[in-house]
Amino acid sequence: MTPDKSPLAKCVMVLGTTSGAGKSWLTTALCRYYARQGLRVAPYKAQNMSNNARVVAGGEIGSAQYFQALAAHATPEVRMNPLLLKPEKDTQSQVVLMGQVNAELSRMEWRGRSLSVWPVVAQALDELMAENDVVVIEGAGSPAEINLKSCDIVNMRVALHANAACLLVTDIDRGGAFAHLYGTWAMLDEAERKLIKGFVLNKFRGDASLLAPGPQMLQNLTGVPTVATLPMWWQHGLPEEDGIFDDRSTAAGQVTRTVAVIAYPRISNLDEFQPLKNVPGVRLKWVRSPAQLIDADWVVLPGSKATSADLAWLRAQGLDQAIAAHAGQGGAVLGICGGLQMLGEALIDPHGIDGNGPGLGLLPVVTVFDENKTVRHRQTVFASVGGPWAGLSGVEVQGYEIHHGQTAPHPAMAAAGDMASPVMPDGLAWQNGAGNVLGLYLHGLFEDQRVLQALFGAAVPTLDVVFEGLADYIDRHFEPGVLQSLITTH
């Protein structure tokens, strides 16, 4: 039965015992599940730390919230992820507040920063609650990090503010799941514990009956039932979250093309490669050493949040020589955003944005870093493209830009006749004379069905199909009535 609509949204929150427990995909599934009931649904995550970002009206947000909004049939917007931290070093992040880079907050000590931005993130949540029937909230890491509790703005402070019905999910495949659940619950305050409405065991392998009497014993200790045991599911089709590199191909058929993506430390927007895992005959692999490039047909240099530092790392691994050798033998090389910048002759940084240094020299272009950040959607068309990319000639594409660098032909090389060919308007893409090296600023290339058809003669399941599958999955595996009760009885 569809619940009565209220002027103030019901809030359902997904917490996790650890990072990687399954919060993001479960939040996405819940967004589609409730949206299918005709409810106005919005996702929300107060603070996300990720170098996977998407362009929305007003700036950029974490990719997870972008996909969650699409699952909810909502227009993605900055209020859904008001604070985005984009790691540049182990101890430094670029701070994006309400979609825009905030240099002052980026310089601020993180505890003080959290306290100062709470009014902004709370207002964003309040507005979403006032405009929707259901807000599905994602937590971050674990809510039981007692060293972070005093400056928490993403877990239990949000849950209490929203009076959210909370699910606590754990990755049972790691082992120790009952201890993770009990320990997390036990370290919460009494008022916080009352918000935990159910435990979720994620990534379970085998016969669920063998879990008994564990769930009942846990309920006896906490008063909280285990409301779902979710079987291991590798092929749900949602893009991977940060730091999760899964080489499994979900497409059938013999591998005819191996696409090797260089996985440097500050890789960004890795989620845009998810569709390649579903293309028949394609194997996607993540590479961190020259030996892993031996069987590669394509080498891809993806985006980076720290282009100069990642380029230095790439050289330290000897990958620069391996990539040059691959290109020298006519192998296909693709650079996207930071990858395009690395392929050029030089990186010039007059404002201290990223760093100076020589590039790989595979494209006769130079990148100058600008203080202003380009963040925008683009719809454009490829000009004449040669080599292994010839199928893209004349193809209309759409994607998004997120970059500080501006790239142009190297003046001295151009004067000597060594020209890079522009293959998109406005300096968005460049190709070398031999045609096998292509660099472009446009993210989302492989998410465009027209590109997949042009390069592979194939299509992959749309995101909408993925979202429907996620909703069906939780509908099957949650205890009957639980998902409805979260928005009706709390």
CB 430 within 8 A of CB 408: no
Nearest to 2 by CA among 348, 487, 415, 383: 487
CA distance 143 to 339: 36
Q: Is 366 helix (H, G, I), strand (E, B) or coil?
A: strand
State which H helix or E strand residue 140 sits in. Answer: none
**What is the distance of C-alpha 449 from the center of its chain?**
19
Nearest to 450 by CA among 387, 391, 385: 391
Q: What is the DSSP string of 224-239?
A: --EEEEEEP-TT--PP
Residue 477 is a catalytic residue: no
Contacts of 112 (CB under 8 A, 6+ apart): none
Residue 166 is a catalytic residue: no
Contacts of 103 (CB under 8 A, 6+ apart): none
* Catalytic site residue from 166, 326, 337, 410: 337
Nearest to 114 by CA among 85, 165, 151, 78: 151
CB 367 within 8 A of CB 344: yes
* Catalytic site residue from 180, 403, 404, 443: 443
CB 332 within 8 A of CB 298: yes
Nearest to 80 by CA among 29, 136, 35: 136
CA distance 457 to 474: 33
With tokens 């227009």, the residue in question is 75
Contacts of 281 (CB under 8 A, 6+ apart): 251, 253, 254, 255, 256, 257, 456, 458
**Which amino acid is located at 71 in the chain?**
A
Residues marked active site are found at 337, 443
